[in-house]
Structure 1
Amino acid sequence: MAEVLDTAQVQAALAELTDWVGDPEAIARTVSLATFPDAVAVVTRVAIAAEEMDHHPDIDIRWRTLTFRCRTHSAGGTTALDIELARRIDEIVAAQG
């Protein structure tokens, strides 16, 4: 089972990500895209990446604003898998512009 990261580990990882916030409980990022179709395209690409990783974020869609929340439920908090998924989300968001 994945190990929950402590506060210092989470904060160090967040420093390397774009606009993520969080703690050992979970990490999250909210992004705004130019259009609703752009937002849906990002969600689709994140869904594909999540399936590849077998690790799925919570995603809230509000018109063109998306909030991603990553937490390893089986471990009870933020793990290295969440950090990796956040990196992939950052890449997808950056590519969408």
Structure 2
Amino acid sequence: MELLSNEAIQDALNRFPEWELVDEKWLQRKYSFRKYLHGVAFVHQMAVHAQERKHHPHIVIDHTAITVSISTLDMGGLTNVDVEMVEHFDNLFEQAEK
């Protein structure tokens, strides 16, 4: 596993425009839900996938807003695994009850 180049990071941000680069080593997105428990159910789905992949994001639940930050901590930055997780989380969100 290798760190993504700046070009690869920009490509990921172009593919997933709701995500932003934070501190040059985190991808972050805020998801919004109408109801608290809908957001919690979404977090549960993300947690199951993260556990299966053994790649765990930082997740903040703030009532109906869920903020997700992801990075490959042992590499000190972003890798393809982070981009794969971003794609999966966005797919889960598209299917979630909002």
Q: Do they superpose with TM above 0.5?
A: yes
Name 2:40's counterpart in structure 1: 40
Percent of aligned pairs sharing the same letter: 28
Contact 1:20–1:28 (Cα < 8 Å) also in 2: yes
Q: Given the two structures, how large is their TM-score scaled by the length of structure 2?
A: 0.92
Distance in 2, Cα, partners of 1:83 & 1:89: 10
1:64 and 2:73 aligned:
no
The residue that corresponds to 2:14 in the other structure is 15
| Unmatched tracts of structure 2, length 5 or more | none
Unmatched tracts of structure 1, length 5 or more:
none
How far apart in 2 are the matches of 1:53 and 1:36?
Answer: 26
Aligned residues: 96
Helix, strand or coil: the match of 1:74?
helix
Q: CA deviation at 1:13?
A: 1.1
Paired residue for 1:5? 4
Match of 2:79 in 1: 79
- CA 1:89/1:18 → structure 2, altered by over 3 Å: closer, same or farther? farther
Structure 2 CA distance, aligned partners of 1:50 and 1:72? 12
- Where has structure 1 moved over 4 Å in runs of 4 or more? none
Normalised by the length of structure 1, the TM-score is 0.92
| C-alpha RMSD of the superposition | 1.2
Equivalent position SS for 1:19? coil
